[in-house]
Amino acid sequence: MKKLLLLLPVAALFALSGVAFAGQGEVSEKEIRRAVLVVSFGTSMPEARHAIDSLVDEARRAFPEAEVRLAYTSNIIRRKILKEENLFIPTPLEALAKLQDDGFTHVYVQPTHIIPGEEYEDLGRVVTALASIPGKFGFEKIVLGAPLLADEGDCADLAAILHRTYGDRLGKDRAVVFMGHGSPHSANAFYSQMALCLEKVSDRFFLGTVEGFPSFDDMVRHLEKSGVRRVTLVPLMIVAGDHARNDMADGDDPESWLSQLKEKGYRVDAVISGLGENSEVRALFLKHLKALID
């Protein structure tokens, strides 16, 4: 009898524990809190930051039920902004830790990368690691969205947008040259695919990259065969930052694309506008994000 009396409180404790855990489960079902984290490499140029901030603003309008925040992957840029502007922008890991601490349960990470290269893979490892954490220090759901170019359809969509945007700069004697970043990563192949998609919409569209294939010299060989003498340079980058302003369009730098093309006898002008400033391009990112949330 004494043993039975001793066991009753223990049994009651387990019973109450069961009710408590069940109750917590019911609460978590009712208290789903969604957040979107937009992740960019970043830029230290305030005048170029609009391209990223516009995507964040549009994500807030498209998904009003979710908290939308921003993170930068470049520590150099983050530190420069903090020093020069006293503006703190977290890393993806810092931002995700804060979202977890703030009680968000479902997190959708949308990168602004153009290709699924090294930066994208690094971000994927962070998301995978956090997704593996069970219990109160983890998320119920955390997923990573696709970059701008994830398949052939994305390349075709972007080529069509660029034709609508820059088609009026094309002609028998006029061409548009896009400058991509490029990468030693195997995902650089997306730039070759993008070049083919651009060629399909116009034989006056050309693409080269700063650090990959097709290179500037590869692009020039195709340009010379076309017979055009007037060229408009356009950055195929989310923000018109250092590469666009210096490597592409700096007329005082003899190594810039603008200077080299002028040296070859072309009449050259440049557009200093990142892809993120184009509302149709931002819509492609939001389409990837919607696929995550749906």
Catalytic residues: 181
Calpha distance 73→80 (Å, rounded):
13
Confirm whether residue 185 is marked as ligand binding. Answer: no
Residue pair 285/55 in contact by the 8 Å Cβ criterion: yes
Is 106 assigned to a binding site? no
Phi, then psi, of 12 in degrees rounded to 5 = -65, -40
At 72, list the tokens: 């930068």
Q: 181 labelled as ligand-binding?
A: yes
Q: In 40-57, which positions are buried (b, 16+ CB within 10 angstroms) versus exposed (e)?
A: bbbbbbeebbbbbebbbe
Contacts 24+ apart (CB under 8 A), 85-93: 85/46, 89/42, 92/37, 92/39, 92/123, 92/126, 93/126
Q: Which residues are annotated as a binding site?
A: 181, 211, 243
Q: Which residues are annotated as a binding site for Co(2+)?
A: 181, 211, 243
